[in-house]
Amino acid sequence: MRIGELAERAGTTTRTLRYYESRGLLPARRTEQGHRVYDEGDLRLLREIRTLQDFGFGLEETRPFVDCLRAGHPAGDSCPASVAVYRRKLGELDALLGRLQEARDQVAVQLLRAEAELPSGPAPRCELGTETTASTEE
């Protein structure tokens, strides 16, 4: 299939495909006329790349999965290098979750403090914006 058909079937652009080719993630096979040609295996590589990117993997992090598929394995994650990337990504996500939990805890403390300092009677009227309204009415 030609580049336009592959792009359409993969849900991407020809520009993206040319970029992947320049990065060595897609093969650079050409016809005698110089047209790029792809097959179902290339579509499978693209789907693997896109799925991993949807999960937050960077383009270079997809390389071991692509290499694994190119080597003839049934899945892109059935090679030790791919599993290593999974482990590394999981560690990054765990660290991110830890930072998010810390931020959440700090916001919760600030909320409790702010709520404790609120006056117990009726809330004071906020006069912000009243001047603008009054001056435009004059």
pLDDT tens-digit readout, 24-64: 999 989 999 999 999 999 999 999 999 999 999 999 999 99
125 in a domain, yes or no? Answer: no
Which residue, 69, 64, 55, is CA-closest to 84?
A: 64
135 in a domain, yes or no? Answer: no
130 in a domain, yes or no? Answer: no
Per the structure, how many domains does the chain have? 1
Residue 2, strand partner residues: 37
Burial status of residue 131 (CB atoms within 10 A of its CB: 0-12, 13-18, 19 or more): exposed
pLDDT for residue 119:
81
Domain of 58, in residue numbers = 3-116
pLDDT for residue 127:
73
Q: To 5 degrees, how large is the angle CA 59–CA 60–CA 65?
A: 90
Angstrom distance (rounded) from CA 48 to CA 110: 43
Q: What is the CATH number of the domain that holds 60?
A: 1.10.1660.10
122 in a domain, yes or no? Answer: no
Below-50 pLDDT ranges, the chain: none
8 in a domain, yes or no? Answer: yes
Question: Cα 88 to the chain's mean position, in Å?
Answer: 16
Angstrom distance (rounded) from CA 34 to CA 138: 74
138 in a domain, yes or no? Answer: no
137 in a domain, yes or no? Answer: no
Global confidence as pTM:
0.74
126 in a domain, yes or no? Answer: no
Structure tokens at 37: 């040609």
